[in-house]
Amino acid sequence: MPSADLRPASARFARLRRIEAVLRTTAVARKEVRQLLRDRLTFGMIVGIPVLQLLLFGYAINQDVRHLRAGVADLAGTQRARLLVQDAQATQVVEIVERARSAAELEALLRAGAISVGLLVPPDFERRVERGDRAPAQLLVDGSDPIVLAASRGITQLPVRARPPAARASAETFELRAYYNPERRSQLQIVPGLMGVILTMTMVLFTAVAIVRERERGNLELLINTPVRTPELMVGKILPYMVIGLIQVTLILLVGLLLFDVPIRGSLFDVYAAGFVFVTTSLTLGLLISTLAGTQVQAFQITFFTFLPQILLSGFMFPFDGMPHAAKQIAEVMPLTHFVRITRGILLRGAALSELRAEIWPMLAFLAVAMALSIARFRKRLD
């Protein structure tokens, strides 16, 4: 047992040790704060990621889908048929963006992804209305997206103006025809889009650390002293990952077909051709991030910052038509938006790549701009 006169000294000693521990912890915390303030990218992520998520989920993401892109094939050409089309657009559920001259042309627009909904008014529309037929017109819907299908049901019971009293007992005006996913399985919508999401995560991340890793390992100085030119270095960095990306495309197709029964209604060559363009575009985006980042941690941060808007605005999780106009304009710049449309168009709707060529050009433009910026920034760092 310690003597009574030693107890105050030991208590003071323990108190001093606690104070020293607090001081050491505070010193480490001050150092970390100074480091965060110097690392502007990390500090920007602390503020930027919450603000970005709030803006995306509060402003751009909308489950109440309206203004679905619609096409009209008015084969009756009567006043009553025109009023029906006007009333359908007045509901704001659909927005007429295309006019077709036949049912086959309307189905072609649906297959190419130009529209999500087709309003088909048959030539004998007036006679059907006068007889009181149930559903005298048809509503063709891209049923691969269950949310779009559910939103389209809102206009099936739209009343026909000047309908005879004896014919008003009919409950529906439009007969709903769901294309491409009659069983309404969510896997058919998710798996093709997931191909683009997986490729974005892996391909961008692989090359985002490419230049930074060379710098951190001290290999960049060796590359500078070699006769390898900047474009050659950039292309050489992404060539191995192009093959890896196509292997991932094959793996996703096999898993989707064997486990989830996802059909491949279009050409496999078209899938791989579009996949090659998208893989190259994603790898080039990763190279651009690698020239912007100073460390591998920063490369991871920028990659996540660019990945979040793509997955939320591309139409993979939420219907594209339900987004506000400004969000759509931003999404059109992102490669994932166009690749999701291509994969769903080829796999689910059986569309040919020539029908979806409007989605290829934005990816090629993004590829050219990202590669040019990567080369320019790498040269600047060498200087």
CB 299 within 8 A of CB 212: yes
168 shares a domain with 215:
no
pLDDT computed for residue 3 by the predictor: 53
Check pLDDT > 90 for residue 26.
no
Which residue type, as a one-letter code, is found at position 55?
L
Domain count, the chain: 2
Q: For residue 147, what are its two tokens?
A: 């949310």
Q: Let me know whether 148 and 266 are in one domain.
A: no
Q: What is the pLDDT of residues 314-334, one digit of tens each?
A: 888 888 887 888 888 889 999
Q: Quick one: 344 and 254 in the same domain?
A: yes
Domain end, chosen from 179, 198, 217, is at 179
Looking at residue 7, its pLDDT comes to: 62
Backbone torsions φ then ψ of 98, nearest 5 degrees: -140, 150
Residues 332 and 378 in one domain: yes
- 227, part of any domain: yes
Residues 188, 97: Cα–Cα separation, whole Å: 26
219 with 132, same domain: the answer is no
Domain span at 140? 68-179
Q: What is the mean pLDDT of the chain?
A: 83
With bands split at pLDDT 50, 70 and 90, how would you rate the model's confidence at 382? very low
Return all residues near 183 (Cβ < 8 A) that are at least 6 apart. none
Q: Are 154 and 91 in contact (CB under 8 A)?
A: yes
Note whether 90 and 124 are same-domain residues: yes
- Other C-beta atoms within 10 Å of 272: how many? 15
Residue 280: inside a domain:
yes
List the Cα angle 263/268/274 in 5-degree steps: 110
Domain termination residue (choose one: 179, 212, 242) = 179
Task: Please give the average per-residue pLDDT across 132-158, as a whole number.
Answer: 86
Q: Are residues 335 and 194 in the same domain?
A: yes
From the list 218, 192, 215, 121, the residue with the least C-alpha distance to 342 is 192
Query: Could you say which of 160, 179, 198 is where a domain stops?
Result: 179
Which range among 210-224, 259-273, 310-324 has the greatest average pLDDT? 259-273
Identify the band that residue 342 occupies on the pLDDT scale cut at 50, 70 and 90. Answer: very high
Q: Are residues 326 and 362 in the same domain?
A: yes
Rounded Cα distance, 284 and 289, in Å: 9
**In a domain? residue 215:** yes
Helix (H, G, I), strand (E, B), or coil: what is residue 27?
helix
Q: Is residue 217 domain-shared with residue 330, that is, in the same domain? A: yes
Q: Is residue 95 part of a domain?
A: yes
- The reported pLDDT for the residue numbered 1 is 47
pTM of this structure: 0.81
Please check whether residues 206 and 148 belong to one and the same domain: no
Indicate if 172 and 237 belong to the same structural domain. Answer: no
Domain containing residue 138: CATH number: 3.40.1710.10
